[in-house]
Amino acid sequence: MEKRMNEQELLDSFDEALLNNHIFVVYQPKINHATGRMVGAEALMRWRHPEYGMQFPSEFIPVLEKSNLICKADLYVFEQVCRLQRKCIDEGRHIVPISFNMSRYDIYNNNYVDEIEKIRAKYDVPVKYLRVEITESSAVGGVELISSVVDKLHELGYIVEMDDFGSGYSSLNVLKDLNVDIIKLDMRFLSGDIGGRGGTIISSIVQMTKWLNTPVIAEGVETIEQADYMKSIGCKYIQGYLYSKPVEEKEFIEKLDSIEHEPVGPAMDLISTMDAGKFWNPESLETLIFNNYVGGAAIFTYNKNGKIEILRINQKYIKEVGMNQTELDILNSDPLNSFDDENKKIYYDTLERAIKSEDEETCETWRHLYSDCCGEDTICVKSFVRMIGRTEDQYIFYTMVQNITKEKKMYEDLYESERRFRFASEQVNVYAWEYDIDTKEMRPCFRCMRDLGLPPLLKNYPEPAIEVGIFPPDYADMYRDWHKQLEEGVGTLEGIIPLTVGRVPFHVRYTTEFDENGKPLKAYGSAALVVDGEA
């Protein structure tokens, strides 16, 4: 008869279960999905009651934890693992490290680490064949205790794995305080399909772990799509039903012999010009800066096939170049879709330059954006890119962006007015400008900008030109009066004015443009150097 035992029944039969192997251990392989080889295994506790059948760990483990029996049970599991490893060593098999689960109640038990060391000594198993899995929930109520246990395990040579990473909201905080060696990322905690938000979160986490130089094992992997996806983002170690359910000892030994094995390698090489780990800590200075002080910024990966994936953006990034897209729209879209081939090439070239120089590189690219609410738009973006990390098959970039569409359009308008004032540029030493009578805005020609250092747009003209001394003080009032006359509708104005600090005489002219009702719109100004004899 299959039956779930209630709490009392579990407690009453616990001692007998331990004694008679009703409680036993199963093993689930950890596989390198890139090679199919076994890199380790996890020991999991099982309880099969002779009458009531299999009991679920999710049900009996909390009962054992509540009643302080979990330590005894976990030490039993650990002893079984040591016994198996000893046996396999003696039989000359290739073996893999086996991890065992450490409950947070084991951590509260001061002697726990001493107890496992006693057992390990009894079976004389090298510590490299044993690994500890702890869960982030062990840090509930403070990280100090667990962190001291982790240190103690490290001193003894154990590799410590962080179990169920991603299950708690504080994962990142726990990680920064706990010096774990491997992270186990449970796919089941990250709901949502891997193509959508779930995938974005997973890839961000994997990326972050690369920055921390910590290998990741994905657990709960049930489908080949999940496994391939994880491999594609750089996480090749996998534990889950896809490769194997937890199996009993005999079957595990068969697998050990039939599946080739290899060690869990270190995380991919990473060169880093900044402490990227801090970047993911929500309370770090780096994050504060990222969100508040740097303008539009993003972090993205660029892989060797030319694929770009945005991992993180700040709010100002959305304001700057996002139009009315949401953060999610941006994270989920292929950023290269908005580039045409020419601009794509400019961008790629800049990335390649930044990889070589390991320094900041800049470029200007036009992008064609589309959003549901605002329709289409073409914008010009100035990007400052810097490579901040490199893994086996991809680069990590930090970019700052500026939307320079307005400035670009202004320059284009200037080209246009420059063309209209062709007469001015055809002559040597002629300067030209356009004065908007309504707004008092002045747009100088390129030569004015180049020779006189003027910006593309001067407001409240002519005051700024008087201020910087292009028009000398004794001519200022006369020049102001010209602009009053333009407002009143005078058609042309001209005179000789000594310009700039050098007081070089120029022939200055204005011609007014009127609308169909005779209202003055614009005045076109020019200043031509007075040639000898003219004055």
Binding interface with ligand C2E (CB under 6 A): 28, 44-45, 57-58, 61, 70, 74, 77, 101, 103, 163-164, 219-222, 240-241, 246
Strands of 143-196, DSSP E: 159-165, 182-186
- Distances in whole angstroms, Cα of residue 39 to Cα of each of 34, 91, 160, 266: 11, 20, 15, 12
Q: How far is the CB of 170 from ligand C2E (least distance, A)?
A: 18
Q: How far is the CB of 114 from Ca ion (least distance, A)?
A: 22
Nearer CB in complex with Ca ion: 101/138? 101
Non-local CB neighbours of 455 within 8 Å, separated by 6+ positions: 449
Nearer CB in complex with ligand C2E: 60/302? 60
Nearer CB in complex with ligand C2E: 165/471? 165
Instruction: Tell me the β-bridge partners of 395.
Output: 302, 390
Among Ca ion, ligand C2E, none, the one that 103 touches (CB under a kind-dependent 5 to 8 A) is ligand C2E
The conformation of residue 128, written as its DSSP 8-state character, comes to G
Nearer CB in complex with Ca ion: 28/350? 28
Nearer CB in complex with ligand C2E: 234/240? 240
**309 touches Ca ion (CB under 5 A):** no
Q: At what angle do helices 70-90 and 112-123 cross, to 10 degrees?
A: 20
Among ligand C2E, Ca ion, none, the one that 161 touches (CB under a kind-dependent 5 to 8 A) is none
Q: How far is the CB of 42 from ligand C2E (least distance, A)?
A: 7
Q: How far is the CB of 225 from ligand C2E (least distance, A)?
A: 13
Q: How far is the CB of 260 from ligand C2E (least distance, A)?
A: 21
Among Ca ion, ligand C2E, none, the one that 28 touches (CB under a kind-dependent 5 to 8 A) is ligand C2E
**418 touches Ca ion (CB under 5 A):** no
Burial group, residue 523, by CB count within 10 angstroms (0-12, 13-18, 19+):
buried
Strands of 292-374, DSSP E: 296-303, 308-313, 361-371
Binding letters toward Ca ion, positions 147-176, x by CB under 5 A: ----------------xx------------
Instruction: Tell me the β-bridge partners of 438.
Output: none
Q: Which of 155, 152, 165 is nearest to 106 (CA)?
A: 152
**320 touches Ca ion (CB under 5 A):** no
Among Ca ion, ligand C2E, none, the one that 77 touches (CB under a kind-dependent 5 to 8 A) is ligand C2E
Question: Which residues, numbered 83-122, are part of the site for Ca ion (CB under 5 A)?
Answer: 101
Among Ca ion, ligand C2E, none, the one that 74 touches (CB under a kind-dependent 5 to 8 A) is ligand C2E
Nearer CB in complex with Ca ion: 40/520? 40
- The CA distance from 154 to 181, in Å, is 10
Nearer CB in complex with Ca ion: 164/434? 164
Distance of CA 231 to the CA centre of its chain: 18
Q: At what angle do helices 70-90 and 57-66 cross, to 10 degrees?
A: 120
Among Ca ion, ligand C2E, none, the one that 336 touches (CB under a kind-dependent 5 to 8 A) is none
Non-local CB neighbours of 499 within 8 Å, separated by 6+ positions: 470, 471, 472, 505, 506, 508, 527
At residue 497, the 3 state secondary structure works out as: strand
Quickly count: other Cβ atoms within 10 Å of residue 120's Cβ: 22
Strands 23-32 and 237-239: antiparallel
Among ligand C2E, Ca ion, none, the one that 222 touches (CB under a kind-dependent 5 to 8 A) is ligand C2E
Question: Among 74, 106, 133, 320, which residue interacts with Ca ion (rule: CB under 5 A)?
Answer: 133
Quickly count: other Cβ atoms within 10 Å of residue 5's Cβ: 19
Instruction: Tell me the β-bridge partners of 367.
Output: 379
Q: How far is the CB of 312 from ligand C2E (least distance, A)?
A: 28
Nearer CB in complex with ligand C2E: 227/323? 227
Nearer CB in complex with ligand C2E: 80/350? 80
Nearer CB in complex with ligand C2E: 163/434? 163
CB of 414 closer than 8 Å to CB of 446: yes
**399 touches Ca ion (CB under 5 A):** no
Q: Which residues bind Ca ion (CB under 5 A)?
A: 101, 133, 163-164
